[in-house]
Structure 1
């Protein structure tokens, strides 16, 4: 007899925590951790993060794929998936973690912390007079489920914030720009640029040499979205020349970032290993369970992804 089973795969998430959280919500769910999947025909649902090539081809009755994160670009381009429903996680814990990362990165630059870090290594007292936060112009590229709250929080802290997105957004304290002209204005008019763009065919490589050159000399760049939205070679050149003064990078074209990559040697780059926002099973399991309940009833899951748009 066929069973209603879910397969779990992630190289970084804890399957025990997810099993406990999800079966508390859905006691009848058969939770299986790859590679111990039993009969592949039982698998109706997949809860995954960066599964290997060919992963989904084993499961002929798959109905729903839920991504263990907000970015689903790696899933919508695969060739081993039959038509299924896609959903992404959007839990309060993930939003709070991303907001905290962006606030940290922006505040670090706003308060000149890299200057003091370097001064400490030299053993020197290097005073830089603080500036009012309202004098510091910050741009957030991407005002979606993660970018919107981050921009709103920065504005509430007192920064002067502009957002750029596919469509106009109404966020308290945040100016909203759209379109190519809007992107160019945003890049030219802000000293700290934060990318929270989803990776889509339109956003891939959207920040190239021409776009980086629009930024004010010495601008600070924070990327917590996807590495491929930026031309890495162009960014390296801009960082070496000082046109981009500093960067905080959580994401890269190749992950883990390979040994010997130029980013490792640049003193003006802070590297974190793709952890700006992670999912908290206890908080996210409710949404995953509700999506499964909806698919069982023939309805769309929560936070459904449109593969054509890529988000």
Structure 2
């Protein structure tokens, strides 16, 4: 049981009202406070935030922990030494895994069943059945085998696709060919027909999918990026799609968001664009998870999902 605590709620877009309502409903006795530029933050036990203002960070040095309103930590870790040296806790699942699995399954099936080609034919009034792809030749490779990645692997396997996974450290998953570490990345890519990126953004994964690595994929491969846009060298991807080596891509994340109007991705019909909606935080699930973690802090018990600042997640 959590005794009365004071929590700072902050979002860069200012939309903290619904979060305050959920905390008040689910954690009786909680006091939530807000902060605006130029104000002095009152003493708080915890901070729950997203896209913090740089001037807020020095005032967070006395909180017991900082909770993020999402699963990624890169938007906060970019502040480096300016980020107070207190535990930084990201969300685990909070309703995002099933959404991610739905998104990746849709994008994979759309390409596998050639629905993208049928959509193009329909725009031109064409009735022309295409030969189906062979599922045994359609290995789906998932990069990133955390909570979201594991749900994606489970879902894709349910459709009967061969699945392989790649992660920083070794994993052993039933029915999945697992690869680990940079030394095995080329081997992993060379046998992957649909590449799904679910990796966190770190110094090691920034521009990880450049021209050389994308070219390691077999001809006709397809990319689904639901991680972070900076992992993909965008000009290289465009070049390989236009050359025909990469068949196309479904992209939910981009180096600059919103994707700028003159960006060439908008004009490439083989690239499907969505506005960073593959897995949205389910607010009530997130609040319940944060409350449970606050209870663990208050009871001096282990807390899940504390960010390792050296690893970047």
TM-score (norm 2): 0.91
- Which residue is 1:48 aligned to? 49
The yes-or-no answer on 1:184 pairing with 2:210 is no
Worse-superposed segment, 29-38 or 165-174: 29-38
Worse-superposed segment, 244-253 or 67-76: 67-76
Alpha-carbon contact 2:144-2:199 (below 8 Å) kept: yes
Alpha-carbon contact 1:7-1:37 (below 8 Å) kept: no
CA separation of 1:271 and 1:246: change in aligned 2, threshold 3 A: same
How far apart are the structure 2 equivalents of 1:305 and 1:101? 26
- Which residue is 2:282 aligned to? 280
Alpha-carbon contact 1:290-1:302 (below 8 Å) kept: no
How far apart are the structure 1 equivalents of 2:151 and 2:138? 19
Deviation of 1:96 after TM superposition, in Å, equals 0.9
- Which residue is 2:131 aligned to? 129
- Which residue is 1:15 aligned to? 16
Alpha-carbon contact 2:215-2:245 (below 8 Å) kept: yes
CA separation of 1:13 and 1:217: change in aligned 2, threshold 3 A: farther
Instruction: Please list the CA deviations of residues 218-248 of structure 1 after superposition, one character each: whole Å capped at 9, or x if unmatched.
Output: 2110000011111112112112222211111
Instruction: Please list the CA deviations of residues 185-205 of structure 1 after superposition, one character each: whole Å capped at 9, or x if unmatched.
Output: 121111110000111111111
CA separation of 1:174 and 1:299: change in aligned 2, threshold 3 A: same
CA separation of 1:13 and 1:138: change in aligned 2, threshold 3 A: farther
Deviation of 1:11 after TM superposition, in Å, equals 4.9
Deviation of 1:129 after TM superposition, in Å, equals 2.8
Residue aligned with 1:40, SS: coil
Matches within 5 A, 1:214-229: 214-229=216-231
Worse-superposed segment, 29-38 or 124-133: 29-38
Supply the RMSD in Å over aligned alpha carbons.
2.2
Alpha-carbon contact 1:152-1:172 (below 8 Å) kept: no
Q: Pick from 87, 90, 93 the counterpart of residue 88 of structure 1.
A: 90
- Which residue is 1:168 aligned to? 170
Worse-superposed segment, 230-239 or 59-68: 59-68
Residue aligned with 1:221, SS: strand
How far apart are the structure 2 equivalents of 1:253 and 1:53? 21
How far apart are the structure 2 equivalents of 1:108 and 1:13? 37
How far apart are the structure 2 equivalents of 1:211 and 1:252? 18
Residue aligned with 2:54, SS: coil
Alpha-carbon contact 1:164-1:177 (below 8 Å) kept: yes
Residue aligned with 2:95, SS: helix
How far apart are the structure 2 equivalents of 1:94 and 1:13? 22
The yes-or-no answer on 1:61 pairing with 2:62 is yes
CA separation of 1:56 and 1:252: change in aligned 2, threshold 3 A: same
When the two structures are aligned, how many residues end up with a matched partner?
309
How far apart are the structure 1 equivalents of 2:94 and 2:172? 20
Deviation of 1:24 after TM superposition, in Å, equals 2.7
Matches within 5 A, 1:134-213: 134-213=136-215
- Which residue is 1:261 aligned to? 263
Structure 1: tracts of 5 or more residues without a match: none
How far apart are the structure 1 equivalents of 2:229 and 2:164? 22
TM-score (norm 1): 0.92
CA separation of 1:180 and 1:38: change in aligned 2, threshold 3 A: closer
How far apart are the structure 2 equivalents of 1:257 and 1:306? 30
Alpha-carbon contact 1:4-1:30 (below 8 Å) kept: yes
CA separation of 1:84 and 1:232: change in aligned 2, threshold 3 A: same
